[in-house]
């Protein structure tokens, strides 16, 4: 009998609003116990979720570009994410690898996709995979699972320190914006131009 995994809150409402703010963005969060690295990508009204580590060699998909690709069979345009390491492109809806012209590569999803639901208090994710729907092995399984602290040979972090990686990124982004504002003031004074790092795409 198929057992559905529980819904897990991955983002608070403010974090969700930041993720949805233009331009289109993707972020990596750790969900569940044991934790899994999940990519959340805001596409219109939807937030799509799939494993955040590339099935090829584990590249960080949250650092890739979100691009729309039309299917070569005339199917509708689908949002994809392109791995920053070697350029493989994955459909954000299906997890299947696709070529630049929309042709499917392989007959089975390379990236495991997960279900999301926006609620008043934030974004919830239901993981697929072991113990849940879609229990069939997926190539991205090898990279998406976060090793336990014990497996890494270290002590477990306090829960407060295990907060979503997205929150840390948003704080860093806010700091970068502050720095950018300061740089803008410097430019007004004839100082050097400063380009803040992009943490979310």
Binding mask 84-123 for ligand FES (x = CB under 6 A): -xxxx-----------------------------------
Residue-by-residue DSSP string for 22-61: SSP-EEEEEETTTTEEEEEEEETTEEEEEESB-TTT--BG
Under DSSP, is residue 107 helix (H, G, I), strand (E, B) or coil? coil
Stretch that binds ligand FES, among 26-34, 56-64, 132-140, 152-160 (CB under 6 A): 56-64
Stretch that binds ligand FES, among 50-58, 108-116, 163-171, 184-192 (CB under 6 A): 50-58
Return the number of the residue (58 or 122) whose C-beta is nearest ligand FES: 58
Of 7, 6, 110, the residue nearest 51 (C-alpha)? 110
Three-class SS string for 151-172? HHCCCCCCHHHHCCHHHHHHHH
- The answer to the question of residue 142 lying near ligand FES (CB under 6 A) is no
Return the number of the residue (6 or 87) whose C-beta is nearest ligand FES: 87
Stretch that binds ligand FES, among 32-40, 42-50, 57-65, 111-119 (CB under 6 A): 57-65
- Applying the rule CB under 6 A, the residues between 144 and 183 that interact with ligand FES are none
Stretch that binds ligand FES, among 36-44, 53-61, 65-73, 160-168 (CB under 6 A): 53-61
Whole-angstrom distance, CA of residue 190 vs CA of residue 77: 45
Q: At its nearest, how many Å lie between ligand FES and the CB of residue 90? A: 9
Q: At its nearest, how many Å lie between ligand FES and the CB of residue 39? A: 12
Of 63, 129, 75, 139, the residue nearest 101 (C-alpha)? 75
Of 50, 116, 43, 106, the residue nearest 83 (C-alpha)? 50
Size of site (CB under 6 A) for ligand FES: 10
- Applying the rule CB under 6 A, the residues between 71 and 90 that interact with ligand FES are 83, 85-88
Whole-angstrom distance, CA of residue 53 vs CA of residue 84: 11
Q: What is the contact surface with ligand FES in residues (CB under 6 A)?
A: 54, 56-59, 83, 85-88
């Amino acid at each position: 009998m198929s057992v559905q995994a529980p819904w897990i809150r991955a983002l608070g409402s403010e974090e969700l609003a930041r993720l949805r703010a233009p331009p289109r963005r993707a972020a990596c969060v750790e969900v569940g116990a044991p934790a899994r690295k999940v990519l959340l990508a805001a596409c219109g009204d939807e937030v799509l979720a799939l494993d955040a580590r590339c099935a090829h060699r584990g590249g960080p998909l949250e650092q890739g570009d979100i691009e729309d690709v039309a299917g070569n069979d005339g199917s509708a345009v689908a949002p994809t994410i392109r791995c920053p390491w070697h350029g493989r492109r994955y459909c954000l809806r299906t997890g299947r690898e696709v070529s630049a012209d929309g042709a499917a590569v392989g007959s089975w999803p390379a990236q495991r996709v997960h279900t999301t639901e926006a609620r008043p208090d934030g974004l919830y994710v239901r993981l697929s995979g072991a113990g849940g729907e879609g229990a069939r092995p997926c190539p991205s399984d090898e990279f998406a699972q976060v090793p336990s602290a014990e497996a890494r040979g270290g002590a477990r972090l306090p829960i407060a320190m295990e907060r979503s990686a997205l929150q840390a990124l948003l704080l860093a982004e806010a700091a970068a914006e502050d720095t950018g504002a300061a740089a803008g003031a410097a430019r007004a004074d004839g100082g050097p131009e400063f380009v803040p790092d992009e943490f979310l795409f």
